[in-house]
Amino acid sequence: MHAEEQHVGRLQGKVALITGAASGIGSACALRFAEEGALVAGIDVSEEGDERWKKACELAPKSWFAVADVRDGARIAEVVGEVCSHLGGVDVLVNSAGTAGGGAVHDVAPEEFDRVIGINLTGTFLPCHHVLPVMLEQGSGNIINIASIEGLQGAEGGSAYNASKGGVVLLTRCMAMDYARKGIRVNAICPGFIETPMFDAVWGMEGLEELKDRVRNAHQLGRFGKPEEIANAAVFLACEESSFITGHALPVDGGFTAGQRFGFAKMMGLE
Ligand SMILES: NC(=O)c1ccc[n+]([C@@H]2O[C@H](COP(=O)([O-])OP(=O)(O)OC[C@H]3O[C@@H](n4cnc5c(N)ncnc54)[C@H](O)[C@@H]3O)[C@@H](O)[C@H]2O)c1
């Protein structure tokens, strides 16, 4: 390649609106998208983005950040309007804002159940609800919902979280069907356990060390994931390389959902 040839990113000139952009998987998506030439707009309840978000802003100087709660439809509508007038539209929407929470159902306060569903499920619906008219008008668009492996299968004590993420997976499939003929693709990513501040909040609790080892081991690759590994999948789903993929819930989970591990691989000398 000649020195004067410029790298053209896989998302060159695309406008990506990312919820939960201040941290973890959301900020990793912002950074990877900016590295691929996208203009990024972030939404978060946090007033300040982490180091990845700041780096994304350096790479994409027109980046836009709005403090907003994904449960507040009026505020989301306002932010979508601002993004359209400043950046010219929305090509990609990534819904990454989320919260942990659950427990055995008899122990979960109804308000807590509503909070988790409100952020994870309604908080995915509302940005879609306000961005889809823009995408319909454009005749193109791409939505990526960050669900979870816990939206594909049950987990002990999962309740509210699993119900919310299972809802996100089916919302994704319904939207993929409704908007496919309008040039809009909709997919979900189902991460395994990923080292982010949310992960640290759960696994930093005392007395969970042994359980944490077991959960790590349930990932066939024998480790937890990194936010960049989810962001790389999001780049793939956002760009033309995945042009025939819609309505898919993609596990990015180090093999967590591949099956159960009983020790036969070890017996065969594969560990
Ligand atoms: N980390 C994991 O192991 C893991 C696994 C599977 C799925 N996920 C999902 O990935 C997504 C991102 O999680 P993460 O691990 O990066 O966590 P994180 O806590 O690092 O990031 C979540 C972000 O969402 C923001 N947020 C929370 N509530 C909000 C609201 N009401 N409105 C706007 N923003 C809000 C937070 O301020 C934070 O910046 C979540 O949907 C989570 O459920 C995470």
- pLDDT (tens digit, 9 = 90+) per residue, 141-186? 999 999 999 999 999 999 999 999 999 999 999 999 999 999 999 9
Neighbours of 185 (CB within 10 A): 23
Active site residue 161: yes
Asked whether residue 10 is assigned to any structural domain, the reply reads no
Residue to mutate, 95, 96, 252, ligand 1, most ligand atoms under 8 Å from C-beta: 96
Asked whether residue 4 is assigned to any structural domain, the reply reads no
Q: Is the CB of 75 under 6 A from ligand 1?
A: no
Asked whether residue 149 is assigned to any structural domain, the reply reads yes
Give the model's pLDDT for residue 5.
65
Q: pTM of the prediction? A: 0.97
Q: Which atom of ligand 1 is nearest to the CA of 195?
A: 1
Asked whether residue 3 is assigned to any structural domain, the reply reads no
- pLDDT (tens digit, 9 = 90+) per residue, 194-222? 999 999 999 988 999 999 999 999 999 99
User: Catalytic pick from 33, 65, 113, 161?
Assistant: 161
Cα torsion angle, 193, 199, 200, 203, sign = negative
Q: Which domain holds residue 162?
A: 15-267
- pLDDT (tens digit, 9 = 90+) per residue, 217-245? 999 999 999 999 999 999 999 999 999 99
- Say how many domains are in the chain: 1
- Say how far apart CA 3 and CA 164 lie, in whole Å: 49
Give the model's pLDDT for residue 24.
98
Asked whether residue 8 is assigned to any structural domain, the reply reads no
Asked whether residue 1 is assigned to any structural domain, the reply reads no
Asked whether residue 134 is assigned to any structural domain, the reply reads yes
Q: Is the CB of 20 under 6 A from ligand 1?
A: yes
CATH classification of the domain holding 251: 3.40.50.720
Output 10 or 61, whichever has higher pLDDT: 10
Ligand 1: residue whose CA is nearest its atom 23: 20
Angle at 66 between CA 62 and CA 67, to 5 degrees: 155
- Say how far apart CA 233 and CA 112 lie, in whole Å: 31
Residues 89, 134 contacting (CB under 8 angstroms): yes
Give the model's pLDDT for residue 270.
95
Asked whether residue 7 is assigned to any structural domain, the reply reads no
- pLDDT (tens digit, 9 = 90+) per residue, 45-62? 999 999 999 999 999 989
pLDDT at 3 over 70: no
- Say how far apart CA 63 and CA 57 lie, in whole Å: 5
Angle at which helices 123-138 and 159-179 cross, to 10°: 10
Q: Which atom of ligand 1 is nearest to the CA of 119?
A: 31
Instruction: Convert 74-106 to b/e letters by CB count within 10 Å (16 or more is b).
Output: ebbbebbeebbeebebbbbbbbbbbbebbeeee
